[in-house]
Amino acid sequence: MKLKSPSSSTTIIFIFSISITIHLSSSESLLINSTCKAMAADSPNIKYGFCATSLQAAPASSCASTRGLATIAIRALRYNVTDTRCFIKQLLRRRGWEPYAKQCLGDCFDLYSDAIPTVRQAMKYYNERRFDDANVQLSSVMDAATTCEDGFADGDGVVSPLTKRNADAFQIGAMALSVVGMIRTGSG
Ligand SMILES: *[C@@H]1O[C@H](CO)[C@@H](O)[C@H](O)[C@H]1NC(C)=O
Ligand SMILES: *[C@@H]1O[C@H](CO)[C@@H](O)[C@H](O)[C@H]1NC(C)=O
């Protein structure tokens, strides 16, 4: 029984150091906060809370520079569209879709399938400091999310199962666009 005490004190130290880490990472995100504030002021498509939450959630973001935050935003966009493509694939396997809804889902699947290599290309251009080319790619991913959602809206009484995901992809795309813009103009 005595043997247990070292391991439990190790556990306590471990938990203690985790809580210090959590505390530091939430207070050290001054750059995330100020960048998100600037982005929200710059673009009506970006909400401060969404921006701060999604950047803070990314690994190593609390120590990132503005250039790092651009990489993080583009990467977050890639994760988002990749996940949504997979989600649509699962939805398409279900039976009982109205033909119109099924057609919309199929269109969205194609749009999101194309969006994945487009985000990769955006990252490549960004790394090559070809900022205008990166922006064209990022805008086209935002357009894909809008086009997907609009398809459902055009159908009579068809409810989009992708509204939140499309809005998220659109907003992260806007964030990536905005932070790349800051770097391009040297204001970041
Ligand atoms: C950044 O904003 C979050 C809320 O979004 C807040 O909890 C945190 O204290 C802020 N950090 C700094 C350094 O201002
Ligand atoms: C997309 O990103 C947002 C913001 O980080 C996040 O809240 C949401 O869960 C992500 N969605 C998917 C499907 O990855």
| DSSP code per residue over 100-152 | HHHHHHHHHHHHHHHHHHHHHHHHHHHHTT-HHHHHHHHHHHHHHHHHHHHHH
For residue 1, is it within any domain? no
- Would you state the pLDDT for residue 28? 52
From the CA of 170, the nearest ligand is: 2
**For the segment 60-111, what is each residue's pLDDT rounded down to a tens digit?**
899 999 999 999 999 999 999 999 999 999 999 999 999 999 999 999 999 9
pLDDT classification of 144: cutoffs 50, 70, 90:
very high
For residue 3, being part of any structural domain is answered with: no
Provide the pLDDT for residue 127.
97
Testing ligand 2's pocket by substitution, the residue of 47, 80, 119, 164 carrying the most ligand atoms inside 8 A of its CB is: 80
Residue 23 resides in a domain: no
User: Does residue 81 lie in a domain region?
Assistant: yes
How many domains would you assign to the chain? 1
Distance 168 CA to ligand 2 centre (A): 6
Q: Which domain holds residue 163?
A: 29-185
**What average pLDDT score do residues 119-124 get?**
98
From the number of C-beta atoms within 10 Å of its C-beta (0-12, 13-18, 19+), residue 134 rates as buried
CATH of the domain at 102: 1.20.140.40
Residue of 69, 81, 165, 168 to mutate, ligand 2, most atoms within 8 A of C-beta? 168
- Tokens 């995100």 belong to residue: 29
Considering just the CA atoms, what is the radius of gyration of the chain in Å? Answer: 20
CB 181 within 8 A of CB 69: no
- Among candidate residues 31, 81, 75, 71, the one with its CA nearest the CA of residue 52: 31
- Say how far apart CA 155 and CA 168 lie, in whole Å: 22
Task: Specify the pLDDT at position 188.
Answer: 61
Taking the C-alpha atoms of residue 73 and residue 123, their distance in angstroms, rounded to an integer, is: 10
**pLDDT reported for residue 182:** 94
Any atom of ligand 2 within 6 Å of the Cβ of 54: yes
- Domain-located, residue 15: no
Report residue 33 as tokens. Answer: 């906060």
Answer whether residue 135 is part of any domain: yes
**pTM of the predicted structure, to 2 decimals:** 0.84
Specify if 19 maps to a domain: no
Q: Is position 24 within any domain?
A: no
